[in-house]
Amino acid sequence: MPPATSRTAPETSNGFISKLSNHSVEQTVEKLKNILQSKGVALFALIDHSGEAEKVGMKMRPTKLLIFGSPKRERLSC
């Protein structure tokens, strides 16, 4: 499986931070879910873009979006 992103260094754009992962998308998502749970941060949604594309016969590289945040802190993140 390819790394979770092809960027070589953290990049901030429109409030988003992208970082390179040495793991597959699936492994990276599991690691992030575990980190969020251990910190008590709610995972509101996990959107599997590539999985949904595959259902309608389209191919795309593995792409998943996690929407998480802390209602106590009034912050959401993607």
Please state, in angstroms and rounded to a whole number, the distance separating the CA atoms of residues 37 and 49: 23
User: pLDDT tens-digit profile of 24-67?
Assistant: 999 999 999 999 999 989 999 999 999 999 999 999 999 999 99
With beta carbons less than 8 A apart as the criterion, state whether 51 and 23 touch: no
20 token code pair: 């390179």
Q: What is the pLDDT of residue 22?
A: 94
Which residue in the block uniquely carries the two structure tokens 């912050």?
A: 75
Picking from 70, 73, 74, the residue whose alpha carbon sits closest to that of residue 39 is 70
Please state, in angstroms and rounded to a whole number, the distance separating the CA atoms of residues 49 and 61: 9
Q: What is the pLDDT of residue 33?
A: 96
